[in-house]
Amino acid sequence: MTSSPQHVELPAPVDVLGLPIRPLRTDGLIELLAQRARAGARTTACYANAHTMNLACGDPAYRRVLAASDVLYADGASVVWASRWAKRRLPERMTSADYFPSFARRCADLGLSIYLLGGRRGIAEAAAARLKELIPHLTIAGMQHGHFALDCSNEVVDDINAARPDVLVVGMSSPRQEFWLARQGDALDVPVRWCVGALLDYLAGAEPRAPQWLCRLGGEWLFRLAVDPLGKWRRYLLGNPRFVWNVLRWRCGRTHMHETPNEAMKLSRSSST
Q: Are 227 and 198 in contact (CB under 8 A)?
A: no
Provide the 3-class DSSP secondary structure of residue 71.
strand
Alpha-carbon distance of 192 to 90, in angstroms, equals 23
Q: Is the pLDDT of residue 263 over 60?
A: no
In a domain, 169, yes or no: yes
Structural domain of 197 = 20-210+253-271
Count of domains forming the chain: 1
Of the pLDDT bands very low, low, confident and very high (cuts 50, 70, 90), residue 229 is confident
55-113 tens-digit pLDDT: 999 999 999 999 999 999 999 899 999 999 998 999 999 999 999 999 999 999 999 99
Looking at residues 162-171, what average pLDDT do you find? Answer: 98
DSSP 15: E
- What are the start-end ranges of the E strands in 77-159? 113-118, 139-144
CA atoms within 13 A on the CB side of 85: 17
**What torsion, rounded to 10 degrees, do the Cα atoms 17, 21, 24, 29 define?**
-140
In a domain, 42, yes or no: yes
Alpha-carbon distance of 221 to 236, in angstroms, equals 7
DSSP 253: T
Q: How many helices (H) and strands (E) does the chain have?
A: 14, 8
pLDDT at 260: 41
Give the pairing type, strands 71-74 and 113-118.
Answer: unpaired
> Closest Cα partner for 104 from 169, 22, 25?
169
Sign of dihedral through CA atoms 244, 248, 251, 254? negative
- Length of the chain equals 273
- What are 71's strand-pairing partners? 45
Alpha-carbon distance of 80 to 89, in angstroms, equals 7
> Closest Cα partner for 101 from 91, 109, 93?
109
In a domain, 220, yes or no: no
In a domain, 135, yes or no: yes
11-61 tens-digit pLDDT: 999 999 999 999 999 999 999 999 999 999 999 999 999 999 999 999 999
pLDDT at 270: 38
